Amino acid sequence: MASTTISLSLATISSSKALLSHPKPTSIYTFKAYERTFSSSLLGTSLSIETARPRPICRGTASSSSNGVTCSSSSSPLPSALLFDCDGVLVDTEKDGHRVSFNDTFKEKDLGTTWDVDLYGELLKIGGGKERMTAYFNKTGWPEKAPKGEEERKQFIASLHKRKTELFMALIEKKLLPLRPGVAKLIDQALSKGVKVAVCSTSNEKAVSAIVKFLLGPERAEKIQIFAGDVVPRKKPDPAIYTLAASTLGVDPLSCVVIEDSGIGLAAAKAAGMKCIVTKSGYTANEDFLNADAVFDFIGDPPEERFDLAFCGSLLEKQYVS
Q: Catalytic amino acids? A: 85, 87
Taking CA atoms, 228 is separated from 55, 162, 203, 300, in Å, by: 34, 14, 6, 25
Nearest to 253 by CA among 266, 264, 277, 269: 269
Strand 81-84 to 196-201 pairing: parallel
| CB neighbour burial string for 87-109, b if at least 16 within 10 angstroms, e if fewer | bbbbbbbbbebbbbbbbbbbeeb
Phi/psi at 200 (5° precision): -125, 110
- The Cα–Cα gap between 269 and 46 comes to 28
Concatenating the DSSP letter of every residue in 161-189 gives: HHHHHHHHHHHHHTT-SPBPTTHHHHHHH
| CB neighbour burial string for 172-203, b if at least 16 within 10 angstroms, e if fewer | beeeebebbbbbbbbbebbbeeebbbbbbbbb
